[in-house]
Amino acid sequence: MFESSFISGSRRLDVDERYVKELDELIDLCRLNLVSVDEEMIRRAFRLGFWAHKDDIRNSGEPYIAHPLAVARIYVEQIGFDDVGVAAALLHDVVEDTELSIEFIRDSFGDTLALIIDGLTKISGAFESRDITQAENVRKLMLSMASDIRVIFVKFADRLHNMRTLDSMPLHKRHRIANETIALFAPLAHRFGFFAIKSEYEDLSLKYLHPEEYEQITVGLQDGRKERELYINKVIDPLENKLRDHGFEFEIYGRSKNLYSIFQKMKRQGKPLDEVYDVFAIRIVLNSQESKGKEDCWRVYSVVTDLFKPLPERFRDFISVPKSNGYQSLHTTVVGPDGRKVEIQIRTREMHDIAEKGVAAHWKYKESVEDADTEMERFLTWVRDLLENPEPEKATDFVKDFSLNLYDKEIYVFSPRGDLMTLPRGATPVDFAFMVHTEVGYHCIGAKVNGKMVPLSYELGSGDQVEVITSKKQSPSADWIKFVVTQKARSRVRQAINERRRKAEETGREIWEKRAERKKLSLSKQELAHLAKRLKFPSIEQMFYEIGSGLFDVSEALKLAVLHSQGEHEEGSEDRLKLHFEQFVDSAQESGSPALLIDGEVQTDLVTSYASCCNPIPGDEVFGFLSRAGAVKIHRVGCKNAPNLILNQADRIIAVDWSRQKDIRFVSGLRVMGEDRVGMLNDVTTVISKNLKTNIRSLTISTDDGVFEGTIILLVSDLDHLRRLIERIKRIEGVHGVYRFEQQYEDDVQL
């Protein structure tokens, strides 16, 4: 009924003359900024939006249609993608706020526009939450973005107009919306290259979140405006004359940095506004032919540095190596008149448009639709990568990964073949390995940076050449989560860890079922849950995981199950079961180990053993894990199972240290990699057994394409002993890497 009344009455629609004029201005802007314009579609979208919202009033008191018109104008002026996006901006609220259906939009405008409106409708609820950083809200945004990139483009314009009119909202909503904007929309706009939108987001957020600082900076800049303009002219005038002498066509102007970046600089440097020197920059935009653009930028740089002394440490070449969002420009800081430092940016008109309008500007400048689609697909690939881990270990992990991939601190590294890759600052060889390929990341065992072996946690720097060493036997370690920074690496590592856990649970279940079958035990799911609870496991799955991982002896569960089975029909069976269990725990505490200090004292009344999952040795940082039977199993802090134990069963963790007892040997393992040359094996074994008097328990060697990989199981006295072995083996000619190797050994030493 609602939709049919529009169809029957649309010809008589009485539109305020003011908005008709604004619509005409919008279409003129479309002709100026867009590659093609379907004027009839835009007018139909306006008429439908006007009619659907005819009775709606904004908080500011103006008719609601003013908002979609303003959003459409922002979309055209600051994004300028296409006319379908303009129509979507005019209709972005109609399904959410009126009785119009998405089916009516589809019938009236086609599938593409309906898809965009549907995406905008689905994410609108996410931004009503008090916590936009909830994983599900961010995921909704990303999913909608992946369906059609124009969803986020229209949302950018919508959010900008809402920020411009935020004064009409209640105080608590202002704070919530401003926080959402600075936490999510500003960095996301940066990632897509919309610098002008990002800067306005930041400044308006500052206005509502830090009003005093906003006012202070605004007034300070206004007070110093005349003096600043005089100084800028002292720099610009000679530059302008020189550039004209060289025949350049250009635009040159001074501009203050945005208020938020000045605010951040004041905080970072701990200085007031008048002591922060680089609050403005001079920009030179060249009207050069595309084929000569880069060359002209460098020629202008030469003119600049002939006039003013440059500061080499403040030079940035984003033309040869663009930022990940496509930004290109030369940045240099020079010593201007009166010894003051001035930043100068040099770019072509095309570079400038892409810097301001980001990925959408590629549509305008690419020679073909196919090229533009390829550029857009690069950004959509980034979105899809973020969504590839559908069930993160924690909801907050997705948001953290998402945020890490938005910010602009970047480094540039090279593969051995000279291929350039962009990574976030703080990235490690593991991040690089996953960027090369997922399989390279999974099997990364070591890395060389600029020809030298480095730890996998090594922080890469711009210009580093990175070579990844892989092994088919390697798999991601839980420790990697502590130092990887890219979303792709973090999600793949988590997936691998979760898969290992799943397999351990399956193994534990199989072990239980086989042993239970021998005992002729058959427990229902409810009985298993009861057994797990009696053993103080939070779930059946956790019990099977610990059995499968070797953290818990299945015999303990079987003994308790047998006791339960024997006494389940007897009166007082619960008390008897409790007594049997306590006796069972006591019997497990018959002997102890003098090699460990527990709570600062040598213990003789606790059974202790060394976890086969990590094989700790004296000198390692360790902790104790109290088993269900009262025995203590010693783990390294860096053990692959440590995060799960510490996070989920903290009440069973006890402080453990090493005593001074001598003449005890511990099982440890080394993984050695290097060149497959004659005599290599002999050199390695000589160093271990003869030079350092160390017993080798077992040794396995495999070779492939001139590279050997060996696993050596040996007996060492402590961590220093192991470190001496590692350092000595590293000095053998042709050895590329030596790493401590963790594996479950059947013949672990038990004290």
Number of CB atoms found within 10 A of residue 530's CB: 15
Which structure tokens are listed for 262? Answer: 């000045």
CA distance readout (Å), 425 to 187, 399, 407, 462, 686? 15, 18, 9, 9, 43
CA distance 303 to 305: 6
CA distance 616 to 634: 7
| 258 secondary structure, DSSP code | P
| Type of residue at 327 | Y
CA distance readout (Å), 687 to 270, 715, 729, 748? 56, 14, 7, 24
Which structure tokens are listed for 422? Answer: 């962009």
**Chain center to CA of 572:** 56
CB contact burial 512-521 (16+ within 10 A = b; e otherwise): beebbeeeeb
Contact (CB, 8 A) for 621 and 636: yes
Q: Are strands 330-335 and 316-317 parallel, antiparallel or unpaired?
A: antiparallel
- Chain position carrying tokens 């440490």: 313
- Chain position carrying tokens 């038990």: 750
- Chain position carrying tokens 């970072």: 268
With helix as H, strand as E and coil as C, how does 149-194 read? CHHHHHHHHHHHHHHHCHHHCCHHHHHHHHHHHHHHHHHHHHHCCC
CA nearest to 593, candidates 580, 602, 583, 584: 602
Q: Where do the DSSP E strands lie in 539-665?
A: 596-598, 601-602, 608-610, 622-626, 632-636, 653-658
> Among all residues, which ones are annotated catalytic?
96-97
CA distance readout (Å), 259 to 217, 355, 652? 7, 19, 52
CA distance 442 to 452: 21
CA distance 172 to 151: 27
CA nearest to 622, candidates 649, 651, 595: 595
Which structure tokens are listed for 282? Answer: 């001079």
**Dihedral sign computed on CA atoms, order 344, 347, 352, 354:** negative
| Type of residue at 8 | S
Query: Coil, strand, or helix at residue 547?
Result: helix
Number of CB atoms found within 10 A of residue 56's CB: 13
Strand-pairing partners, residue 695, are 715
CA nearest to 660, candidates 609, 618, 622: 618
